[in-house]
Amino acid sequence: MTEFLNNLFFIFQRISWLSLFDILLVTLIFFGLLHSLRDTQAMALLRGMILLVVAIVLLTSLVELPAFSFLALNALPALLLAIPVIFAPEIRRTLERLGRAGNVWQAVVKSEDASLERTLHAVASAAARLSARKQGALIVIKRLDNLDEYIRSGVQMNAQVTPELLLQIFYPNTPLHDGGAIIVGAQVAAAACVMPLSASGVLNRTPERQMGLRHRAALGVSEASDAVTVVVSEENGAISIAHAGQMLRRLDPDRLEGILIAFFRPDSEARQPNLLERFLPGLFRRKEDQ
């Protein structure tokens, strides 16, 4: 015990502020990597790789296996080269988030206030009517990131956003019903667009785990861009909104419109709302009224 305490004291004597900063930096890097892989299919691959490495270390250290040890040592460089290939989607998603970090609070639609209000009101009104009829819908609203890749996959429209147009697009069994409608500014740029499906496990943690492709597509496009996505479930008519890989579900039309306004028209003269105020505007309005 005395020897252990002496060794521990010797280690603490050699620690400097620079050493603490070095340890903290490495810890933050590993935390960021693990956080970016959370709730993704890559997490299962990472656990499998860790178990494989631990098993190889135990076998080579506890048992004398010269041939196996030679094979393991020579296969390790190939494993390190394979890591970027295996985790390529997660690495790309993390770099995209870093690239958008500086603009996340400055994403404002470049249009007149009146036109913007009409567009957001039309989306909220259409979502309310679609929810009442239990008709599924996927509406993607562009912010800063380019969505041309997804626009080209659908039917070009370039029509003014109105509730009636959105209702007609998502009317069941029509040619434009499947896929998503992308709104750019005050226009529906395209409909029946193909969206990327989410590979995360966010929807698996919800009480209703039987989520359709629309919700996965809404999360997928929010992970690949900074767009705001409104999705209406055709199973129960629930309205949800997705942004930055997160989904807020079971919204009423007023709350939906308030969240959209917080995203697309931040008040430059007033204090910028924090994240909770963006997603829970009704709660903060009630506090102000009191």
How confident is the model at residue 262, as a pLDDT? 86
How confident is the model at residue 283, as a pLDDT? 43
b/e map 227-266, b = 16+ CB within 10 Å:
bbbbbbbbeebbbbbbbbbebbbebebebbbbbbbbbbeb
Number of domains in the chain: 2
Shared domain check, 268 and 216: yes
Query: Is 218 contained in some domain?
Result: yes
Shared domain check, 171 and 282: yes
Shared domain check, 88 and 9: yes
Please check whether residue 226 is in contact with residue 144, taking contact to mean a CB–CB distance below 8 angstroms: yes
Domain that holds residue 196: 113-289
How confident is the model at residue 63, as a pLDDT? 75
Shared domain check, 157 and 29: no
Query: Is 107 contained in some domain?
Result: no
Q: Give the residue from 101, 126, 155 where a domain finishes.
A: 101
Residues with Cβ < 8 Å from 166, sequence gap 6 or more? 122, 123, 126, 130, 137, 139, 181, 188
Query: Is 108 contained in some domain?
Result: no
Shared domain check, 132 and 69: no
Q: Give the residue from 37, 70, 101 where a domain finishes.
A: 101
Please check whether residue 284 is in contact with residue 262, taking contact to mean a CB–CB distance below 8 angstroms: no
How confident is the model at residue 99, as a pLDDT? 63
How confident is the model at residue 92, as a pLDDT? 67
How confident is the model at residue 276, as a pLDDT? 41
Domain CATH number, residue 158 = 3.40.1700.10
Shared domain check, 145 and 273: yes
Shared domain check, 144 and 276: yes
Q: Return the residue matching tokens 């956080």.
A: 35
Q: How confident is the chain (290 residues) per 10-residue block, as mean pLDDT?
A: 70 75 86 69 70 79 78 76 70 64 46 74 94 94 88 93 95 90 93 86 56 86 89 91 87 90 62 44 42
Shared domain check, 279 and 174: yes
Q: Give the residue from 101, 135, 156 where a domain finishes.
A: 101
Query: Is 204 contained in some domain?
Result: yes
